[in-house]
Amino acid sequence: MLRLFIHSSAWLSFSGLLLLSGFLLYASWPIFSEQGLYFIAESEWYPYEDLFGMLPALFGSLLSVGVALLIALPLGVAAALFNIEIVPSCLQPWLRLLMELMAGIPSVVYGLMGLWLLVPFLEQQLDLLTGRTLLAAALLLSVMVLPTIMVLSEDALRKVADDQRQRANALGLSWWAVVQRILLPQAWPGIRLATLLSLGRAMGETVAVMLVIGSIDRLPEPLYNLLQPAQSLTSRIGREMGEASVGSPHWSALMSSGLLLMLMSVAVVLLSQRRWFK
């Protein structure tokens, strides 16, 4: 009885990824068979003319996530160090609790804040036609992943053995040297893991990005321009899924965006878990 239950649930879990990729492939098959694979690298997305270039959304996803991590990573690690090294120890758990609770705040609430706080702010400050830009998405994402990065980096930093630090102190190393030569290098694997984890999370983030990114399928001009409306894979799926009729090329192109997104996040995990492939 128990064996049967245990085995069937394990097989259900085992089949999860297979089912996911299988059904997504099944749903996006029409677009692959019709247009081959190179539509992924094209830059025109006009569903009504059967043009399904993935490049703008792919680029938007990568750029927004990249910028978000560039902002959040140093801030998050600094905050973790700050919490461990400078904040008095009676306050540390409270700060951590705040961060853990922040990590649990739903993305739609961040989206609401982004749309009605960040976007108007950007419009005013940068004198933009619309604040719904790649920059808004990147800033919002960075705020969203900050708590995660901080909590995980703090765990990694705390794991650095106390005796190592004491030995370093005994050697007369300055505080900064201890941080630089002992703490950060030792905690680096954990921080790397935190980065990759938040990378995956940010890449798959949907509603918050969708509310602030502007949803215009165009490559920015020039490419590094963050102040134009853009599109990400997730925001496109979220925005257009409701309109696309089931089974149409449009529908299946959106499904293939989902498949692409899944493959990208799977790749990130495989990168982060390299120890499995020794």
Partner 1 sequence: MKWTIHPAKLLLTLVALPALLIPALALGYIVYQGGAVISWQFISTSAELSGFGASSGVFSQLAGSLLLAVGACIVATPVALGTALFYQLSNNSRLCHHLELLIYLLQAVPPIVYGLFGLILFVQIFSLGVSLIAGMLVLAMVLLPMLTLNNITSLQRIAIEQTDAARALGLTESALVLRVWLRQSRRELITGQLLAIARALSETAPILFTATVFSGVVWPDSLLSPVTTLQTHIFYLAQEGNHPQSIDVAWGSALVLVITIVLFSLLARALKPSGGNL
Footprint (CB under 8 A) of partner 1, residues 210-269: 211, 234, 237-238, 241-242, 246, 254-255, 258, 261-262, 265-266, 268-269
Give CA–CA dist 209/206, Å, rounded: 6
Helical residues (DSSP H) of 106-226, grouped into ranges: 107-113, 119-126, 134-159, 162-170, 175-178, 184-204, 207-212
CA 159 to centroid of chain Cα atoms: 25
Nearer to partner 1, 54 or 220 (CB): 54
Rounded to a whole number of angstroms, the minimum distance from the CB of residue 13 to partner 1 is 4
Q: How far is the CB of 43 from partner 1 (least distance, A)?
A: 23
For partner 1, give the closer residue by CB, 44 or 85: 85
Q: Confirm or reject binding of residue 5 to partner 1 (CB under 8 A).
A: yes
89 binds partner 1 (CB under 8 A): no
Among 41, 70, 91, 109, binds partner 1 (CB under 8 A): 109
Name the minimum Å distance from CB 25 to partner 1: 11
Helices 55-85 and 233-240 cross at an angle (nearest 10°) of 120
Among the listed residues 31, 136, 203, 213, the single contact to partner 1 using CB under 8 A: 203
Q: How far is the CB of 105 from partner 1 (least distance, A)?
A: 6
Residue closer to partner 1 (CB basis): 134 or 261: 261
The least CB distance from residue 129 to partner 1, in Å, is: 18
Phi, psi of 220 (to 5 degrees): -65, 150
Q: Is 105 among the residues that bind partner 1 (CB under 8 A)? A: yes
- Pick one of 24, 54, 65, 168: the residue that binds partner 1 (CB under 8 A): 24
Residue from the set 40, 55, 62, 103 that interacts with partner 1 by CB under 8 A: 103
Establish if 183 lies at the interface with partner 1 (CB under 8 A): no
Least gap, CB of 42 to partner 1 (angstroms): 22
> 207 or 216, CB closer to partner 1?
207
Q: How far apart are CA 236 and CA 255, in angstroms?
A: 11
Q: Are 24 and 224 in contact (CB under 8 A)?
A: no
Amino acid at 47: P
Q: Which helix H or strand E contains 46, and what residues bound it?
A: strand 45-46
Structure token pair of residue 237:
């799926």
CA distances from 66 to 112, 116, 191, 199 (A): 22, 24, 16, 8
User: Applying CB under 8 A, which of residues 56, 60, 76, 131 lies at the interface with partner 1?
Assistant: 76
Distances (CA, A) of 68 to 73, 224, 236: 8, 14, 19
The angle subtended at Cα 241 by Cα 16 and Cα 196, nearest 5°, is 50
Judged by CB, which is closer to partner 1: 51, or 112?
112
Task: Map residues 26-65 to x or -, x wherever contact with partner 1 holds by CB under 8 A.
Answer: xx--------------------------------------
Residue 48 structure tokens = 């009504």
Short-list 190, 171, 194, 174, CA closest to 268? 194
Q: Could you tell me the end-to-end alpha-carbon distance of the chain, in angstroms, rounded to an integer? A: 37
